[in-house]
Amino acid sequence: MERDASGAGVARGGLFSTAEIKILICYILNAIDEPVPVEMLANILHYEGLANAFEVSDAIVSLSEKGQIVATDENEQNYVVTASGKNTAETLKDSLSSVVKERAYLAVMKMFAKFKNAKDNAFEITHENGATYLSCSAIDGGKPFITVKLLITDEEQAGFIREKFLENPSAIYSKIIEMLTQ
């Protein structure tokens, strides 16, 4: 295929064809079958070295204009694949390498799990007596089942801890319970 997409930030084995990027987006949305935040999708494909984030954004606009994907909210933040996009994904999925499809799917699933975890967790930064604290709460059924309050140095550290907490809050909960009950 002709290289018509920018290679900025794309690793070896990544996609350089706008057509391939569109196919990959349809493939991912079809496989996940839930609304996906497109900004996160563009970023994760870029960070994984699969496609340039700007090219992914352009492909999303093009796919939307052609009716292959559709926004699920007024702000056009989350998208799902349409019947036309599903057909594209099924028909052309073999034109993508299995390595690209697997890397993209795993990266997006990790991102999606983190996105879902963010909805099921709460974070609060407080300042008390000249100290800064971060409270991380894992929520189940609308109620926190664990809250951890940490003394932190600054908001940058809070962001780092928040990201780590979101990777696997249930593992953190399990480890704390294990440590307290041994």
Q: Domain residues of the chain, as ranges?
A: 18-116, 120-181
The amino acid that residue 96 corresponds to is L
Nearest residue to 104 via CA among 28, 6, 37, 17: 28
The answer to whether the Cα torsion of 43, 49, 50, 56 is positive or negative is positive
Q: What is the predicted pLDDT for the residue at 14?
A: 56
Q: What is the predicted pLDDT for the residue at 151?
A: 96
Identify the three-state secondary structure at position 120. coil
Q: What is the predicted pLDDT for the residue at 11?
A: 44
Q: What is the predicted pLDDT for the residue at 145?
A: 82
CA atoms of 43 and 57, how far apart (whole Å): 9
pTM of the model: 0.60
Upper half-sphere CA count for residue 27 (Cβ side, 13 Å): 24
Q: What is the predicted pLDDT for the residue at 9?
A: 44
Name the CATH topology of 18-116. Arc Repressor Mutant, subunit A (1.10.10)
Pairing of β 131-140 and β 78-81:
unpaired
Q: What is the predicted pLDDT for the residue at 16?
A: 65
pLDDT digits (tens, 9 = 90+) for 138-169: 887 778 888 999 999 998 999 999 888 888 88
How do the pLDDT tens digits run along the chain, 182 residues long?
Answer: 444 444 444 444 457 678 888 988 898 888 888 888 888 888 888 888 888 878 888 899 999 999 999 999 888 788 899 999 999 888 887 788 888 888 888 887 777 777 676 777 889 999 999 999 999 998 877 788 889 999 999 989 999 998 888 888 888 888 988 898 88
Cβ atoms of 69 and 25 closer than 8 Å: yes
